[in-house]
Structure 1
Amino acid sequence: MKLSSILTAAVLSSAMLCASLQAKVVYVATTAIVEHPALNAVRDGVKAVLEENGYSGEQLKFTYESAQGQPAIAAQIARKMVGDAPDVIVAIATPSAQAAVSASKNIPIVFSVVTDPIGAKVVQSLKQPGGNVTGLSDMVNVKQQLALIKEFIPDLKTLGVIYNPGESNSVSIIKEMKKAAESMGVAIVESPAPRSSDVMIASKQLVGKADAIYCPTDNTIVSAFESVVRVGIDAQIPVFAADTGSVERGAVAAVGYDYTQLGRQTGDIVVRILKGESAGSIDVKQAEGTDLFVNPKMAARMGIKIPASVLARATKIIE
């Protein structure tokens, strides 16, 4: 064969290989236990990072399904996703992560905003968890959040907490909050709400029993957060939250994470896996960054003023 023919064949072969690589479609299947602003922000943050790393347009198949707050539906979605054989499954929030982990031992799974991954039995270790699972934890600093509430109410004696006892992350937060509250001379009054339809009743049950209401990063509660806000206004009990997105929906204040950034941090993990790293070799990441959001209008409607010290360091004031 002539040298020119060999070179031509090599060039054509190289071009065909490049075309084949360019034509490869990356499939990232995403699911969340329920739709609300914080979890939607996580999903959008993941997709943004994928696109910034070249996984976009026709080269990216990005799907999303919500379990509508139902663990049984989360399990169905997880099984369906496993059958579709994506390159990576992104499971947002604890129930969806638990469903995905139960459904597959082979497809890489990246969980996001799971407060207590070990307690939820999603992984056995935060360091190189092994298997096909890794992700991001959004465990909150409950001492920091209690300290913020006490800035508003220095003589705080009782704090009402609404949560879903069926969400393992909420159970973990309650446990940690009780420890921190005891050292600050504050009693925690629990008000369970197993379903989003129970949130209004659980809020009303705290009237006359608590000086303030606190809502953790509990998807059941956050999905019906406006019900808590209504009770706070009607009963003149200030409502505080663990996620800053809830301040825009009516909480007085929150020190917490920017969930779009948490989605981006999750997206970074997904990209590492798409580039060849195994999920089990990647350490579970602790969420980074804290913001302080305040809502002066809602504070006034709930009969409380925002201290000057809090306003001075707020990263965002909701007008």
Structure 2
Amino acid sequence: MRSKWKKSALALFSGAVLMLAACGSNSAAPEKEEKKDEPAQQEEAKTYNIGVTQIVEHPSLNAAFDGFKAALEDAGIKAEYDVQIAQGDNSANTSIANNLVSGGVDLIFANSTPSAQAAASATSDIPIIFTSVTDAEGAELVDSNEKPGGNVTGTVDTHPDAIPSTLKFLKDDLGAKKVGMVFNSGEQNSRAQVDSIKKLIKDEGLGLEIVEASVATSADVKQAAESLVGKVDSMYTITDNTVVSALESVVSVANDNKLPMMVGEFDSVDRGGLGAYGFEYYDIGYEAGEMAVKILKGEGEPAEMPVQYPQNLKFVINKDTAEAIGLEIKDDWNAEDVKDLEK
């Protein structure tokens, strides 16, 4: 009996060991497989935190942001956006930049020159991609357009031929002599454009005179435009964020007084400006987004990514505005109607 009991006990013990070994083997395999898949799942689920700083809301800047988001989406980048608008307030602009940095965002999208300058002052570590900037070098955002050299790069909102073509059109096709310009002299982006225009007029002997009307806020824009009436025979509204945010007030003054007003980009033509040599802000936002994609994927660094210029310069005219001021559109202008861009 004792011998049989020993044999039975031994058999039971051996069976239990085998069962435990088998269970251990089965449970270990899924665990190892789960660990193998874990990095891929984490990478697939990665959502980037993008800080967005914008000096003011107006259609051009909003279109640039739409383009930026589209580029990331097209590249399969998942992102959450912390969007903060300064509404033209420089103090708020600085606070926004500091808040985004302290929030530990993965990348900052700076939409306008003041926004980019504030962000660049707030951090030298977080990558910053800008757009809607006119003169990146003059704004001290980069060492040079070809080799930015720091944590900042992006796309600019001026084509090298845009301003010369606009001035030539004002002089040769509209017969302008005195051109009124309303702009915020405290915005580096605007001051750089006006100085560039004056220098070009002098260097090329164009015989145009620029009559300035400076503003500090969007509330000053209409009065500044009205101050030019009787002093000028045409107007030129550049990509000034303060003025563009209140563009309709300038358009009404220009059209009521039959003053042809050239503008700096297509959205302003759509809103009533006579014409522009320009590009779509959506496109430069999209190009900035493509640069951000490379940085987020580890395929590039801001320091080595050249600043990009807009492509495909076009001449667009608002036929309704031309009719309102009694201007005949000539075939040799080769102008597209702003409505054609909306098709």
TM category, shorter: over 0.9
| Amino acid across the alignment from 2:80 | K
Q: 2:117 aligns with which of 51, 74, 98?
A: 98
1:152–1:306 CA distance, 2 compared to 1 (3 A): farther
What residue is the counterpart of 1:48 in the other structure? 70
Matched, 1:238 2:257: no
1:172 aligned residue (179, 192, 195) = 192
The match for 1:300 is 323
Aligned length: 314
Shift of residue 7, structure 1, vs aligned partner: 6.7
- Which amino acid in 2 is paired with 1:189? V
Deviation at 1:278, TM superposition (A): 1.9
Within 5 A, what are the aligned runs for 1:265-280?
A: 265-276=287-298, 277-280=300-303
Distance 1:170 1:47 in 2: 26
- The answer to whether the 8 Å contact 1:90/1:111 transfers is yes
Are the aligned partners of 1:257 and 1:291 in contact in 2 as well (CA < 8 Å)?
yes
Query: Where in structure 2 are there 5+ consecutive unaligned residues?
Result: 1-20
1:117 is aligned to: 136
Equivalent of 1:162 in 170, 174, 182: 182
Give the alignment of 1:218-237 within 5 angstroms.
218-237=240-259
CA–CA distance in structure 1, aligned partners of residues 155 and 214 of structure 2: 26
Distance in 2 between residues matched to 1:62 and 1:188, nearest whole Å: 41
Match of 1:72 in 2: 91
| Amino acid paired to 1:257 | F
Partner of 2:44: 22
The alpha carbon displacement at 1:12 in A equals 2.2
Moved more, 29-38 or 173-182: 173-182
Instruction: Tell me if 1:33 matches 2:52.
Output: no
**Offset at residue 316 of structure 1 (A):** 3.7
Question: Alignment partner of 2:216: what SS?
Answer: coil
Tell me how far apart the structure 2 counterparts of residues 9 and 41 of structure 1 sit (CA, whole Å). Answer: 48
Q: Is the 8 A contact 2:109 2:128 kept in 1?
A: yes
1:143 aligns with 2:164: yes
Does the Cα contact within 8 Å between 1:152 and 1:307 map onto a contact in 2?
no
Inter-CA distance 313–293: structure 2 relative to 1 (3 Å threshold): closer
Structure 1 residues 109 and 17: alpha-carbon distance in aligned structure 2, compared to 1, 3 A threshold: same
- Alpha-carbon deviation of 1:51? 0.5
Q: Tell me, yes or no, if structure 1 residue 264 matches structure 2 residue 264.
A: no
Q: Deviations over 1:81-111 (max 9, x none)?
A: 0011111000011110111011111111111
Correspondence for 2:17: none
SS at match of 1:81: helix
Q: Aligned match of 1:189 in 181, 201, 211?
A: 211
Measured in 2, the distance between the counterparts of 1:156 and 1:75 equals 40
1:199 counterpart = 2:218 = no
CA distance in structure 2 between the aligned counterparts of 1:289 and 1:74, rounded to whole angstroms? 32
Q: How far, CA to CA, are the matches of 1:67 and 1:39 in structure 2?
A: 13
In 2, the alpha carbon distance for the partners of 1:149 and 1:134 equals 33
- 1:217–1:242 Cα contact (<8 Å) kept: yes
Distance 1:54 1:229 in 2: 41
Q: Any unmatched runs of 5+ in structure 1?
A: none
Once the two structures are superposed, residues 66-86 of structure 1 have per-residue CA deviations (whole angstroms, 9 ceiling, x without a partner) of 110111111111111001111
Residue 163 of structure 1 aligns with an amino acid whose one-letter code is F
Amino acid at match of 1:142: I
Larger CA deviation: 8-17 vs 65-74: 8-17
Determine which of 305, 308, 312 is the counterpart of 1:289: 312
Tell me how far 1:179 sits from its aligned partner. 2.3
Question: In 2, distance between residues paired with 1:39 and 1:235?
Answer: 29
Identity %: 37
In structure 2, C-alpha distance between the alignment counterparts of 1:305 and 1:36, rounded to whole Å: 30
Q: CA RMSD in A?
A: 2.1
- Take 2:200 and 2:164, find their aligned partners in 1: how far apart are those partners? 6
In structure 2, how many angstroms separate the alpha carbons of the residues matched to 1:131 and 1:195? 32
TM-score of the pair, normalised by structure 2: 0.86
